[in-house]
């Protein structure tokens, strides 16, 4: 089974893309809604919460976990991969969204080797928008400097976008004001971006408004398709892990908060009423 983790319901856009591209596998989606948003939390707290989520998904039978949450990928993934998995779960894998997104931003094929595979975009400016935690971590910058060192990266934290989406305020003059507030400085930069990555699971829900503000010449990337196509490639390159995934096309969705609230909030943008269960996470000793 593939576990998919997000702090909230935005990650359902990643789950939907995964199921479109890789429908044969079973999925378990966990949203830590009770403790979302993660965006402005400290490194230690995001790491602790993410590890609890990952361990919960492992205990439910997931052999592979995708951190759909950018904030968790940026703040917690490396420590989990480098410390927790080798010591406690050597047979499991946890993947994040930062590396595949940066590959797409630079126009690199999946699994590109730094310094060897040439990006299709070698010069110019690209941009990423994300939560405060994601942008403060400079995770996108660190990866981009490895993969495409001559590309300039503009980064913009948009702390008020997640609350807007959570409140269902994705359209109208109020939403547009907050979109302009963070997009205008990027677009007014001396070298404006050619590509803009929405580096947060909630932001695709603001895409129509973003698209109206950002000039048509700027390509706007969302992560669902990027993560799904690059996971398909990763599985092809890791047949031992692929072989361990269960195949039944099943989907289970759980939240740490009220399942009825979660089902209502997510049906607003998925247009589908979900069956949602409850998860209780425990501290990882």
Contact predicate 169/175, CB 8 Å: yes
Q: Phi and psi of 3, rounded to 5°?
A: -90, 140
Q: How far is the CB of 155 from ligand DGL (least distance, A)?
A: 13
Q: Coil, strand, or helix at residue 146?
A: helix
What is the chain's Cα-based Rg?
18
Give the chain's end-to-end CA distance (angstroms, integer): 24
Give buried/exposed letters for 169-187 (b at 16+ CB in 10 A, else e): ebeeeebbebbeebbeebb
Q: How many residues lie near ligand DGL (CB under 6 A)?
A: 17
Return the range that interacts with ligand DGL (CB under 6 A); candidates 137-145, 186-194, 198-206, 250-258. 198-206
- Interstrand relation of 27-31 and 251-255 (parallel, antiparallel or unpaired): parallel
Q: How many CB atoms lie within 10 A of CB 114?
A: 12
Smaller CB separation from ligand DGL, 96 or 259: 96
Q: Alpha-carbon distance 134 to 199, whole Å?
A: 8
- Cα 269–Cα 249–Cα 4 angle in degrees, nearest 5: 55
Selected binder of ligand DGL within 29, 33, 37, 112 (CB under 6 A): 37
Q: Alpha-carbon distance 85 to 70, whole Å?
A: 20
Q: Phi and psi of 40, rounded to 5°?
A: -100, 10
Residues 117-136 that bind ligand DGL (CB under 6 A): 131, 134
Residues 157-196 that bind ligand DGL (CB under 6 A): 162
Q: Coil, strand, or helix at residue 101?
A: helix
Selected binder of ligand DGL within 137, 139, 201, 256 (CB under 6 A): 201
Residues 38-77 that bind ligand DGL (CB under 6 A): 38-39, 69-71
Smaller CB separation from ligand DGL, 48 or 242: 48
Q: How far is the CB of 87 from ligand DGL (least distance, A)?
A: 27
Q: Which residue has the tokens 């999946």?
A: 110
Is 224 near ligand DGL (CB under 6 A)?
Answer: no
Selected binder of ligand DGL within 202, 206, 220, 230 (CB under 6 A): 202
95 secondary structure, DSSP code: E
Return the range that interacts with ligand DGL (CB under 6 A); candidates 2-10, 104-112, 118-126, 266-274. 2-10
Selected binder of ligand DGL within 6, 55, 103, 143 (CB under 6 A): 6
Q: How far is the CB of 34 from ligand DGL (least distance, A)?
A: 12
Is 10 near ligand DGL (CB under 6 A)?
Answer: yes
Active-site residue list: 69, 200
Return the range that interacts with ligand DGL (CB under 6 A); candidates 35-43, 105-113, 236-244, 271-279. 35-43
Selected binder of ligand DGL within 4, 5, 8, 266 (CB under 6 A): 8
Which residues of this protein are in contact with ligand DGL, per CB under 6 A? 6-8, 10, 36-39, 69-71, 131, 134, 162, 200-202
């Amino acid at each position: 089974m593939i576990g998919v983790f997000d702090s909230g319901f935005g990650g359902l856009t990643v789950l939907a893309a995964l199921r479109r591209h890789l429908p044969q596998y079973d999925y378990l989606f966990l949203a830590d809604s009770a403790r979302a948003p993660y965006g402005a939390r400290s490194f230690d707290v995001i790491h602790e919460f993410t590890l609890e989520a990952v361990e919960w998904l492992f205990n439910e039978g997931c052999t592979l976990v995708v951190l759909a949450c950018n904030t968790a990928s940026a703040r917690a993934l490396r420590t989990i991969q480098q410390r927790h998995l080798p010591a406690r779960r050597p047979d499991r894998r946890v993947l994040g969204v930062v590396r595949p997104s940066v590959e797409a931003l630079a126009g690199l094929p999946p699994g590109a080797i730094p310094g060897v595979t040439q990006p299709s975009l070698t010069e110019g400016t690209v941009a990423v928008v994300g939560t405060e935690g994601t942008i403060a971590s400079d995770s996108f910058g660190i990866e981009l400097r490895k993969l495409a060192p001559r590309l300039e990266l503009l980064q913009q934290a948009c702390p008020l976008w997640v609350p807007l989406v959570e409140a269902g305020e994705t359209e109208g003059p109020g939403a547009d004001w907050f979109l302009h507030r963070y997009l205008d400085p990027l677009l007014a930069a001396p070298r404006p971006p050619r590509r803009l990555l929405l580096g947060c699971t909630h932001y695709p829900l603001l895409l129509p408004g973003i698209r109206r503000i950002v000039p048509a010449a700027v390509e706007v990337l969302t992560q669902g398709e990027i993560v799904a196509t690059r996971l398909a490639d990763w599985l092809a390159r890791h047949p031992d892990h692929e072989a361990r995934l269960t195949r039944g096309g099943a989907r289970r969705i759980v939240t740490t908060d009220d399942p009825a609230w979660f089902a209502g909030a997510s049906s607003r943008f998925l247009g589908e009423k979900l069956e949602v269960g409850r998860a209780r996470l425990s501290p990882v000793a």
